Amino acid sequence: MQDDNELVRLVQGGNQQAYARLVDKYKGKIFARLYRMIGQKQDAQDLAQEVFTKAYFQLEKLEPDGNFSAWLYRIAINHCLDELRKRKRSVKTSDKEVELIGSETPEEAFLQKEQQQVLLRHIMGLEEEYRAVVVLRYIDQLSYKEISEMLVLPTTTVQMRLHRAKKKLRENLGKGEDSLYEMLQN
């Protein structure tokens, strides 16, 4: 299988099939990341398509032997943040779209699903700059360095935004929901 840099060189040489292979390789990851940030399946699909179109037309900006996946993720995150800024509204996640993480009993599964929904609603209520770092850190489980590279921010800024986001979440969750806040600590 060809590596990303080789496929990029082929695309830059006019081979559109090579770009189709890159899209196939990254479409699931890009969609998942956008979905976690925007909270709506159809919007995430639309944004993913726009990201791949945008990336195709900006491919010449990728440095030779640059990291294609990091570059593509950066385009996706920035495009999503631009879209969220345009909307300036709170995004709701439907009950059906919240993924259930394995539990032992139906009661535990139900309670865990309810807690996740509440936490996701609070995360979606954060300002875009805070929501992005929370999603990338705690849902995508990226390191501070990876988030810093993806958002083109200093690591200290990423850490400060995470700190402020967690503070806002703790304030919004209230005293009775400390267990939800602790979900972010794991």
**Cα separation, 147 vs 158, whole angstroms:** 7
pLDDT at 45: 93
Q: Cβ distance 44 to 28 under 8 Å?
A: no
pLDDT at 98: 45
Candidates 22, 15, 20; CA nearest to 68 is: 22
Report pTM. 0.57
Over residues 16-28, the pLDDT tens digits come to: 898 999 999 999 9
**Cα separation, 77 vs 36, whole angstroms:** 11
Query: Taking 80 as the threshold, does the pLDDT of residue 9 lie above it?
Result: yes
Output the average pLDDT for the chain.
80
Q: Please state, as a whole number, how many other Cβ atoms lie within 10 Å of the Cβ of residue 22.
A: 22
Strand ranges in the chain using DSSP code E only, listed in sequence order? none
Give the residue, 141 or 45, on which the prediction is more confident. Answer: 45
- If you average pLDDT over each of 75-84, 87-96, 153-162, which comes out highest? 153-162
Q: Average the pLDDT over 113-141 and give the result.
A: 82
